[in-house]
Amino acid sequence: MGTINNAYISVEIADQGLESLREGLRVLLGQEVAGCEVASSAAHVSIAYGEGEVTVEALDRVASEIASLPFSVRVSGFEFLEGSATAFDYLVVKLDSTGAFNAAVEAAQGCMKTKTFNGGFCSHISLLKFPKGSVTREWAEQVISEMNVCQSVATALGRRVSLQGHNISVFDPERRCHVTKSFQAQVAA
């Protein structure tokens, strides 16, 4: 089957409300910031960024293990993240890790050496990306503050948003997909 160097494992989130939010924010904030665009073709949560080689067979086993989990994540707010290895900064949905998310990360770490990030890894779903330098810190803080107030009101009203995993995929650094699995386990409502 071969090997992949520096594999990347992610879970696609299929949620129409999330897709509508991404597009609505792009239209609204794109009027204020040139170059604002939707962050990626599909909303997804990063599980692990690998370092070194790992066999496709091992990655397939890990993807199957993760796909058997009742995978979901809970929205905890919004944040603006500076891209460290890209030409973009990102408006993201911050996530609370669930047991299944943590189990998915552990499964990936059991299969391959994973990268660590300065300050830790923030579980998130990227909504929009902005060219570096196009957004001031003050502007970003104001937008995030307003969005988090809305999130706090929703939470106070008992509207805790939980998003379910749709597919798990393994990519190489050129973003070629080598493994895709659909989730078999359903999350209890």
Which CATH number goes with the domain that contains 130?
3.90.1140.10
Residue 44 in domain:
yes
Give residue 10's domain range: 3-182
Residue pLDDT, tens place only, 125-180: 999 999 998 999 999 999 999 998 888 877 776 666 778 888 989 998 888 899 99
CA-nearest of 1, 9, 44 to 115 is 9
% of the chain with per-residue pLDDT over 70: 90
In a domain? residue 31:
yes
CA distance 103 to 110: 10
Tell me what pLDDT residue 76 has.
86
- Cβ contact 125:165 at 8 Å: no
**Residue from 114, 52, 111, 118 nearest 85 by CA:** 118
In a domain, 155, yes or no: yes
27 in any annotated domain: yes
* Residue 48: pLDDT over 50: yes
In a domain, 45, yes or no: yes
Residue 188 within a domain: no
Domain for residue 55, yes or no?
yes
Contact 185, 71 (CB under 8 A): yes
Residue 64 banded pLDDT, cuts 50, 70, 90: very high
Q: Tell me: the pLDDT tens digits for 107-121?
A: 999 999 988 765 556
The reply to whether 70 falls in a domain is yes
Average pLDDT of every residue of the chain: 86
Write out the two tokens for 84.
């460290």
Q: What is the pTM of this model?
A: 0.82
Q: What is the C-alpha R_g of the chain?
A: 17
Indicate the number of domains in the chain: 1
